[in-house]
Amino acid sequence: MTLHLLLTLAGIALVAITLPLVLELFIVTSANLLRGRKNAPSVADNFQESNFPLTVIVPAHNEQLLVSHCVTSLKTSATSATRILVIAHNCSDSTAARAAAAGADVLELNDPGKKGKGFALRYGFEKALAAGASAVMVVDADSAVSPDTVPAVVKAFVQGSRVVQCRYEMVSASGAAGTRLAALAFRGFNVVRPRGRQNLGLSAGILGNGFAMAREVLEANPYEAFSVVEDLEYHLHLVMAGERVHYLDQVLVSAEFPESRSGEQVQRSRWEGGRFRTARVWAMPLVGKILSGQIRLLEPLCDLTGLPLAYGVFALLVAICLPLTWLRWYATFSLGTVLVHVLTAAWAGDDFLGTLKLLALAPLYILRKLWMIPGIARGASAKAAWIRTERNNTL
Residue 156 bridge partners (DSSP): none
**Per CATH, the architecture of 52-275 is what?**
Alpha-Beta Complex (3.90)
Q: What is the mean pLDDT of residues 304-327?
A: 94
Q: Tell me the residue ranges of DSSP E strands in the chain.
A: 54-60, 82-89, 105-109, 135-138, 143-145, 163-171, 211-214, 245-256
The model's pLDDT over 344-393, given as tens digits with 9 standing for 90+, comes to: 999 998 888 888 887 877 777 777 766 766 655 555 554 544 455 555 54
| Mean pLDDT of the residues in the chain | 87
Q: pLDDT category, 188, cuts 50, 70, 90?
A: very high
The model's pLDDT over 31-42, given as tens digits with 9 standing for 90+, comes to: 998 865 554 444
What is the full DSSP assignment across 286-352? HHHHHHTT-GGGHHHHHHHHSPPHHHHHHHHHHHHHSS-HHHHHHHHHHHHHHHHHHHHHHHTSS-H
- Residue of 376, 346, 301, 375 lying closest to 21 (CA atoms): 301
Task: Give residue limits of the domains in the chain.
Answer: 2-34+301-379, 52-275
> pTM for the full model?
0.86
Which pLDDT score is estimated for 78? 95
Residues 6+ apart with CB under 8 A from 1: none
CA distances from 289 to 19, 44, 206, 276, 303 (A): 20, 37, 20, 20, 16
Q: pLDDT category, 50, cuts 50, 70, 90?
A: low
Please state, in angstroms and rounded to a whole number, the distance separating the CA atoms of residues 372 and 123.
33
The model's pLDDT over 67-120, given as tens digits with 9 standing for 90+, comes to: 999 999 999 999 999 999 999 999 999 999 999 999 999 999 999 989 889 999
On the question of pLDDT at 295 being above 60, the answer is yes
Which pLDDT score is estimated for 351? 80
On the question of pLDDT at 46 being above 70, the answer is no
3 state DSSP class of 36: coil
Which pLDDT score is estimated for 137? 98
